[in-house]
Amino acid sequence: MQASSLVYYFLLVSLCIDFSQNETSAALRRQRRRMRHRGLRRSSYAGRRYLRQPRTKLPAPAAPSIPLINIDDGVMGVFDSLIGLGGQESSYSVLPGKKGQCTANGMIMFDKAVWSPKPCITCLCSKGEVICDTTMCHPLKCPQTIIPAGECCPVCSDTASSLDSNIVSLDDITELSGDSPEPNDLDNPNVLSSARTQMEEDELLRTEVVEIKEKEVHKKDGKRRKKKGKKNQQKYKAYQKEKEHDGRKDEERRRLFEEEELQLEKEEIKKRQEVRTREREAEEQYESDEDDGTFPIPVPPIEAPPLPAACSTSESTVSCINAKLTQIPAISDPDLTSLDLTGNIITTISSEAFNGIPNLEWIDLSKNNISSSGIGPHAFKTLKKLKRLYLDGNMLVHIPSELPSTLEEIKINDNQLHAIDEDALQGLKNLVTLELEGNKLSEANVSPLAFYPLKSLSYLRLGRNKFRIIPQGLPTTLEELYLENNQIEEVSEICFNHTRKINVIVLKHNKLEEHRIAPLAWINQENLESIDLSYNKLYHVPSYLPKSLLHLILIGNQIERIPGYVFGHMKPGLEYLYLSFNKLTDDGIDPVSFFGAYHSLRELFLDHNDLKSVPFGIEEMRKLRFLRLNNNKIRTVPPERICRTHLLDDDVHYNSEEDENEDSRLEHVHLENNYINTRQLSPHSFSCIRSYCSVVLKPQKTK
C-alpha cells in the first residue's frame, strides 16, 4: 500500500514538473509572439509606406504564423510551416518571373511588401508567394474583456456596464489571438489528459489570487482617476477655448473660400455667355449667307477648331489653297514651319493670329482680300524665324509695319501700294529679295531713303508701276533691278553711281530713246552683264554700252541701224545680241557694225526685220552657234556670207590646228519665211554647218 502511494506521489511530482515546464515554455512562446506581433505591425506600416498604394479589402485566407524581423530598415520574413493549416492555399495569384512580385485583387505587390487586407490580418509577399496571418494577442486574465473599436486585441473591462457589441469571450480572444496549442503539445495527448484535473485546480487558485489583486488595483486606480479627472477637466476647458478660436478661423476661411468659388462661378458663366453669343452670331451669319445663295463658311469652334476639309497637312506644313477661308485658322503647333493660305477670302490678320505657330518660316497669303487696316500692328512681330512672306494680290496700300528682322524675301506684288516712306523697311537688314510689282509707286512717293536700311538686298522688282526715272537711293548691294512696264524716259548718269555690283538691268516696255541715255550712265560698270531694252523707242543701237556687257536685248524697237564699232570697246565681248522685230535694212548694217563681237558672239537674232540679203560679217563670227534670219526679205544666200570658203592652192599649206580653230560652230540657222529659191542655192552656202537638218529653209514666201 505504501509502495503504491509512493508511486502515485512520484507520478504526481513528475506531472507537476512537466506542467511547470510546459507553462514556462508557453509563457516564452507567448512573449515571442508579442514581440513578433509588434514587429509585424511596424513592418506593416513600413511596407505600406514603401508601396505607397491604397489598402484594399481582400478575402481572409488561411493564416499561418508569420514572424517578422526588422533588419536595417528592410523587411525580412521568416516563415515556419505549421501544423493545422487544413490544407488551404492562398487565394492570391502568384506572378513568377516578375522579380518576386505578387498580385492581390488587381494590386501588384513588390517582393517583401507587407500589407493588411482586412483588420487584424497581415499579409507578406515573399518571392511571388502571399502568406497571411491574423494579429496575435496576449491572453488576459480578466473576468470581463472588451475589444475597443479599431483594435484587434481585447482589453480588461472595468465595469459590466461598458460592455457592448464589442465584448467577446475569452474563447473568442483565444481564437483571434491565435494562441493555439503548440505542435509539441498536440503530439502528446496522454500528458494533457492526465494533467487536466491538476490544471483545473491550479486555475481556480490562480483566479482567486488574480481577483484579489484586481480589487486592490481598482482601489488605487480610483484615486488616480480622481486626480486625472481634475487635470482632464482643465485640459478640456482649454481645449474648448482653443476649439472655439479655431472655429472662428475656420469660419473665416470658409467665408473666403465661398467668395472665391462665387467669383469663379461668375467668370465661368461669363465665358459661357461669350461662347453662346459667338455661336449665335455664327448661326445668324450662316443663315444670312444661305439666304443670299452663297456658300457659307463653317465657323470653327472656339476650342480646338479643326482645319477645313480643303486643307492638307504634312509634318511641318499646312496648305489651305482655295479653301474659302474668311480668317486665318486657329492653329497651335510649334513644329509648323510653312503655312499656305493662297486663294481664300481672308480680310484681316489679327495681332494674335500666329501666336500658336511661333516657328513659322514661310507664309503665303497671296490672292486674298487683306487690307492694310485689317493687319494688326503686331501681327508678324512674334514670328522670330520668319524668312519668306508672300502677300501678292491683296488690297494693301502700304507695307505692313514691324516685320521680323529675319525676313529674307518679301513679295507684295499686285496690290495698291502708293507710297514707301523712309521707315517702311526699317530693320530688314537680312532682306535679299523685294518684289513690289503691279502697284502705284513712282519717284514722287518713294523716299530716296526708303531702301537705305536694306543692307543685304540684291534682287529688286519694281515693274508695272509709274516710275518716269530710275528710283534714287538704290542699295549698294543690288545685283538685279527689274523696272519693266513703267514710264521711264531717261537714264541719268548718276542712277547707278553707287550700285557697283549690279549685274542685270531690265527696262523693257518703257519710253526710252537712245539720246536720253546718258553716256556715263553705265559704261564704267564692271559687273553689268545683261541689259534688256526691249519695246522702247530706240532708233539705233545705243552707244556707250557697259564694257562688261554680255547680253543685249533690243527686241521690239524701231531700230534701223547698227552703228559701226558700237561693240568695239567691250571686253571680253558681247555674246548674245537680240534685234528681232525691228526695222533693220541692208543699209543699216555696216561691214564693221559687229566689230568687237566677231570672236565672242554666240547667238544673233535678226529675224522679223527688212533685210534683203544676209548681212556682212556673219562669216567672221567663229563662235556663232545660233543664227536667226527668218521672216525677212532675203532672196539668196551667197556662198561666203555664212560659211567662209578657202581656196586651196599647191603653194598654200594650212596648219591643221589653225583650221580647227577657224572652223565654224554653227548649229542652227533659220531662213524660213523669206523669198529664197532653194533650188538655186550654192552647195557651199552651208558647208560649215555640221548637219543640214539644222538649216531651216521651209516654208518660203512667194511674190
What pLDDT digit, counting tens, does each position of 93-126 carry? 344 444 567 877 667 777 777 777 777 787 888 8
Query: Is the Cβ–Cβ distance between 583 and 631 less than 8 Å?
Result: no
Query: Is the Cβ–Cβ distance between 457 and 499 less than 8 Å?
Result: no
56 inside domain? yes
Residue 223 sits in the same domain as residue 271: yes
Residue 49 sits in the same domain as residue 157: yes
136 inside domain? yes
Mean pLDDT of the chain: 77
Of 169, 191, 213, the residue that ends a domain is 191
597 inside domain? no
Residue 178 sits in the same domain as residue 210: no
Task: Give the integer Cα–Cα distance in Å for 316 and 59.
Answer: 56
Q: How far apart are the first and last CA of the chain?
A: 178
Contacts of 119 (CB under 8 A, 6+ apart): 150, 152
Q: Is the pTM of this model over 0.85?
A: no
Of 143, 163, 191, the residue that ends a domain is 191
Three cell numbers at 226?
Answer: 480622481
269 inside domain? yes
Task: Give the integer Cα–Cα distance in Å for 185 and 631.
Answer: 133
Residue 90 sits in the same domain as residue 168: yes
262 inside domain? yes
pLDDT at 142: 77
Q: pLDDT, tens digit, for every residue of 347-386?
A: 999 999 999 999 999 999 999 999 999 999 889 988 999 9
Identify residue 514 by its one-letter amino acid code. Answer: E
Give Cα separations from 696 to 580, 631, 645, 691 (angstroms): 17, 12, 21, 11
Query: Is the Cβ–Cβ distance between 112 and 125 less than 8 Å?
Result: yes
Residue 165 sits in the same domain as residue 79: yes
Q: Give the residue among 392, 459, 403 at the shortest CA–CA distance from 426.
A: 403
Residue 133 sits in the same domain as residue 45: yes
Give me the phi and psi of 504, to 5 degrees please. Answer: -135, 130
In percent, the amount of the chain with pLDDT more than 70 equals: 67
pLDDT at 495: 92
Residue 75 banded pLDDT, cuts 50, 70, 90: very low
Residue 272 banded pLDDT, cuts 50, 70, 90: confident
Of 191, 223, 243, the residue that ends a domain is 191
Residue 186 sits in the same domain as residue 56: yes
Residue 175 sits in the same domain as residue 272: no
What's 296's DSSP letter? P
Residue 25 sits in the same domain as residue 105: yes
Residue 58 sits in the same domain as residue 97: yes
389 inside domain? no
Residue 108 sits in the same domain as residue 245: no
Task: Give the integer Cα–Cα distance in Å for 332 and 452.
Answer: 37
What is the residue range of 249's domain? 204-296
Three cell numbers at 487?
Answer: 514710264
Return the minimum-mean-pLDDT range out of 11-25, 381-395, 418-432, 447-461.
Answer: 11-25
Q: Give how many domains the chain has, as a whole number.
A: 2
266 inside domain? yes
694 inside domain? no
Does the pLDDT of residue 48 top 50, yes or no? Answer: no
Residue 166 sits in the same domain as residue 255: no
Three cell numbers at 583?
Answer: 526695222
